[in-house]
Amino acid sequence: MSAANQGSTVKVKAGQEVKTMKAAVVNEFNQKLEIKNVPVPELEYGEILVKIKACGVCHTDLHAAHGDWPVKPKLPLIPGHEGVGIIEKVAEGVTSLKVGDRVGIPWLYSACGECEYCLTGRETLCPKQLNAGYSIDGAYAEYCKAPAQYVVKIPEGLDFAEISPIFCAGVTTYKALKVSEAKPGDWVAIYGIGGLGHVALQYAKAMGFNVVAVDIQDDKLDLAKELGADLTINGLKTDPIEDIQNKVGGVQAAISVAVTKKAFEQAYKSVKRGGTLVAVGLPNAELPIPIFDTVLNGVTVKGSIVGTRKDLQEAIQFAAEGKVRTNIETKPLDNINEVFERLDKGEINGRVVLTME
Ligand code: NAD
Ligand code: ZN
Ligand code: ZN
């Protein structure tokens, strides 16, 4: 069955018919998203059209809808960078994929392929990159198009909704752990056990680290325990810096995926000598760092942004082998405004994944 037939068709001009799809659209910052019919994207050379089955709701989408960051998204915008589904159409020039293939469209929508970063396996730093659901329309919609070269295949047998969060939350935290350069047996702290954090701690366990999970809500920490955290700390009840220093002597790496400056400050102070703070969460804030301690303790502070296509393939493989699972709640696309409200209040344990049918 061709999914294109499921979309409605409207006449826009005399004689010209355009296929439309349902999408959630940000028209203005800090306003509710509008659920409306928009044209199904037209393919250009090298692109594929994906019939979206599921798309996770990342906190980044909330930042986009609020215009939180110095670099603003395009408006109007269809958010969504964890979109997964089935290829319905391929344009001329696509050789690696075919109709019926299962793929996902990540944050790294495209890169130039030619700059020093693209040429050295650091495509997520490409200055010419486009980002799904930010600088170009994403997957809060029935269809999303993408350049064939930048989508990543999903192995048979994996559930679309369950694998969706791996396309951002999974790959991002897996990559952050890689760049932390922690070694098996080391202690690692994850600050913020939300959409990213709950998978971060599972990658950390699968990579052989001991894990401290820090959050400010007990239900998130209960999930962390269930998923294998060795130590959990509620940052509102216990000072995590002291607790981590006392119990494990500091961590080799602290990954901050919380959306608050406080967590970053605490994460910085949780690392031991020679350790690394990896900044992943994106509160619009500055992080004051004591120069003396950084120098004398040989502490590294790193930023980490999503992951390459290869990182994503690896992150998916962990899930395929059952080493990482996403704690998801599915909701219809129509419910996006309610989901955003809950995400803003910290009321989501794991990830909400929007389903399109
Ligand atoms: P989320 O809202 O699901 O999770 C945030 C978690 O942090 C929540 O569980 C919350 O309770 C917890 N938290 C809040 N204050 C805390 C504190 N003081 N200490 C410890 N935990 C605290 O959000 P998410 O979808 O996981 O995204 C997290 C952040 O990561 C966002 O800013 C998002 O934009 C960013 N992000 C970055 C990248 C990247 O490549 N660097 C990729 C995806 C998302
Ligand atoms: Zn994301
Ligand atoms: Zn490039």
Domain segments of the chain as ranges: 4-168+307-355, 170-303
> Which residues sit with Cβ closer than 5 angstroms to ligand 3, an ion?
111-112, 115, 118, 126
15 Cα: distance to centroid of ligand 1 (angstroms): 49
Residue 352 pLDDT > 80: yes
CB atoms within 10 A of CB 279: 20
Q: Compute the distance between CA of residue 94 and CA of residue 113 in angstroms, rounded to an integer.
A: 16
Q: Give the largest CA-CA distance in the chain.
A: 74
Q: Is 11 exposed, middle or buried, given 0-12, 13-18 or 19+ CB atoms closer than 10 A?
A: exposed
Q: Which whole number is the average pLDDT over 70-98?
A: 98
Query: Where does 4-168+307-355 sit in CATH, by number?
Result: 3.90.180.10
Say what the pLDDT of residue 2 is: 35
The pair phi, psi for residue 198, each rounded to 5°, is -70, -25
Average pLDDT of the residues of the chain: 96
Distance (angstroms) between ligand 2 centre and the Cα of 109 equals 12
Q: Which residues pair with 356 in a beta bridge?
A: none
Q: pLDDT tens-digit profile of 145-184? A: 999 999 999 999 999 999 999 999 999 999 999 999 999 9
Residue 15: the pLDDT is 66
Fold agreement (4-168+307-355, 170-303): no
Residues whose CB falls within 8 Å of the CB of residue 283, separated by 6 or more in sequence, listed in order: 258, 259, 260, 261, 264
If one residue of 167, 174, 215 were mutated to test the ligand 1 pocket, choosing by the most ligand atoms within 8 A of its CB, it would be: 215
10 and 38 Cβ atoms separated by less than 8 Å: no
Give pLDDT, residue 357. 77
The CA 110 to ligand 3 mean position distance, Å, reads 9
- Superfamily of domain 170-303 in the CATH hierarchy: NAD(P)-binding Rossmann-like Domain (3.40.50.720)
Helix (H) or strand (E) holding 163: helix 160-163
